[in-house]
Amino acid sequence: MQLRIMNLKSISLSLFVMCASLNVFAQKVKIDGVAVVVGKNIVLDSDIAKFKQEVELRSEGKVKISDCEMLEELMQQKLLAHHAVVDSVTVSKSEIDSRVDRSIQFFTQEYGDVDAVVKAYGFNDLEDLKKELSRVQKENALIEKEQVKVTEDVDVTPEEVRLYFNGLEAKGELPEFPAEVQLAQIVLKAEPTKEEEQRVIDKLTEIRRQIVEDGASFKLKAIINSEEPSVGQTGGFLGAVTKDTPFIKEFKEVVFTLDEGQISEPFKTDFGYHIVLLHKIKGKGREVSHILMRPEVSDNKLKETKEELEKIRKDLEEKKITFEEAVKKYSEDKETKNFGGLYLNPYTGEPTWELTRMDPALYGRVNELQTGEYSEVFYEETKTQEKMYMLILMKSRTNTHTADLVKDYVKVQQLALTKKKEETIEKWSKDKISETYIKLGDDYKKCTFKANWKKEN
């Protein structure tokens, strides 16, 4: 695998943000060594170590990279960021905010809740974390836009693609493309009965009455009754909620209708039913606690839902209905229903998945399926504890194979284009290095670089 393909843009967002965040926290407790200054941008010793580790993890140990090689990759990114500013490249606040929100959503999924994210990376609060993420994401956006600006006129002809492929073939370096699949799904949800939902509403209404009229402790009622996982430690306290806090929309809408000391009526979100107490208004924030209760789904309802989906699967196998017709008629998943059940990769937004890079549980369900085959009906539960049964169709499958110019033309074309763009950026870098302030730390002056970062001639 060629090192140049492993540039920072290809490194996962999670690690890039994590490294930056951890570096900032590290600076609070010790002075981190400066490896290089490029323009007004710096690379720390810890950046090199962390990104080296990420490259090795992503390549599953197949790529080993030296400190000097990693430093050159990082200097390249800082050079792009510096000249993006020189070239008056702009990044809007809304663009940065959108990137920050996606980062926080990603981390929240990884850690379970936003407070755990803040704690994991050593920040004081969510605003402190968002401030650092904004800085990192602004630099990311500048780098990407400068790359686009430098390479906007770069393209490859069919002849260039053919020559690129033949060159790889002659050297025995044709890439191996991993197995890829397209999946579609039918989802049936096991919903609680109306009577069960009313039971929960009535229970929360009574708890609210006991607090408001009888003076019962909200915290104690939360510890006894709330189904939030961390209630034992928090007593239902959520801290300060702002309009930018990544809480569900319906929850924030209720919070911002309350006065200090007021408790809401029971209301519903995807997580269940809540009542919320507004403790204090602090600037743009609202300090709140809540009690969460979820209606139970009976075993009979779960059994009925499974049997219904198994009957649909049998009808599909017997060709009594097409998959697209079944999705339109039965599926209860809003995100995929209007696209024939097509299941998008949540990390790329594309309908194609690399088989070995998907969630292990999903991999286990579809690994043995061939094109046109169905999985068994299986139970699934979302992070909001919504219960459902699912059926997956293997729409298409391409097994692991060595690149073929005809079958894989689009992929080979993209590789050829990427290589040409990298060469264009390398040429651009050689020109820009000479006019950019660069100061290498003493520990790295002995490095041998591809480009003239030392300005020795």
What pTM, to 2 d.p., does this model score? Answer: 0.65
What are the φ and ψ backbone dihedral angles of 364, each rounded to 5 degrees?
-65, -30
Minimal CA–CA distance to 134: which of 39, 228, 21, 272?
21
Is-same-fold flag (3-177+404-444; 180-191+298-402)? no
Cα 250 to Cα 247: distance, rounded to the nearest angstrom: 9
Q: How far is CA 109 from CA 103, 294, 382, in A?
A: 10, 20, 11
CA-CA distance, 120 to 113, in Å (whole number)? 11
The whole-number pLDDT of residue 384 equals 80
- Structurally, at CATH architecture level, domain 3-177+404-444 sits in Orthogonal Bundle (1.10)
User: Could you state, in order of their start, the residue ranges of all structural domains in the chain?
Assistant: 3-177+404-444, 180-191+298-402, 194-293
First to last CA, the chain: 31
CA-to-CA distance for 15 and 51, rounded, in angstroms? 8
| CA dist., res. 63 & res. 6, Å (int) | 10
In the CATH hierarchy, which fold is given to the domain comprising 180-191+298-402? Chitinase A; domain 3 (3.10.50)
The closest of 246, 270, 268 to 334, measured between CA atoms, is 270
Task: State how far the Cα of 438 lies from the Cα of 36, in Å rounded to an integer.
Answer: 7
Q: What is the pLDDT of residue 32?
A: 60
How far is residue 204's CA from residue 199's CA, in Å, rounded to a whole number? 9
CB contact at 8 A, 182 and 355: no
CA distance 172 to 167: 9
Q: How would you write the pLDDT of the chain (457 residues) with one tens digit per residue?
A: 333 333 433 433 333 434 444 444 433 333 468 899 999 999 988 889 888 887 877 777 777 889 999 999 999 999 999 999 999 999 999 899 888 888 888 887 777 777 888 888 788 888 888 888 999 899 999 999 999 999 999 999 999 999 999 999 999 999 999 999 999 999 999 999 999 999 999 999 999 999 999 999 999 999 999 998 888 888 999 988 888 787 889 999 999 999 999 999 999 998 999 999 999 998 889 999 999 999 999 999 999 999 999 999 999 999 999 999 999 999 999 889 989 999 888 777 788 988 888 888 889 999 999 999 999 999 999 878 899 999 999 999 998 999 999 999 999 999 999 999 999 999 999 999 999 999 999 889 999 999 999 987 6
- Show Cβ contacts of residue 21 under 8 Å, excluding neighbours closer than 6 positions: 121, 122, 123, 129, 132, 133, 136
Residue type, 309: L
**What fold does the segment set 194-293 form as a domain?**
Chitinase A; domain 3 (3.10.50)
pLDDT at 345: 81
Please choose, from the candidates 443, 439, 264, 441, the residue with its C-alpha nearest in 3D space to the C-alpha of residue 453: 439
DSSP alpha helix (H) spans, 87-125 = 93-111, 114-120
**51: Cβ–Cβ under 8 A, 6 or more apart, which residues?**
8, 11, 15, 19, 70, 73, 74
The three-state secondary structure class of 267 is strand
Structure tokens at 339: 């696209």
Inter-axis angle of helices 126-151 and 93-111, nearest 10:
120
Phi-psi group of 235: left, alpha or beta (phi > 0 → left; psi -120 to 50 → alpha; rest → beta): left
Q: Give the dihedral sign, CA 115/117/123/128.
A: negative
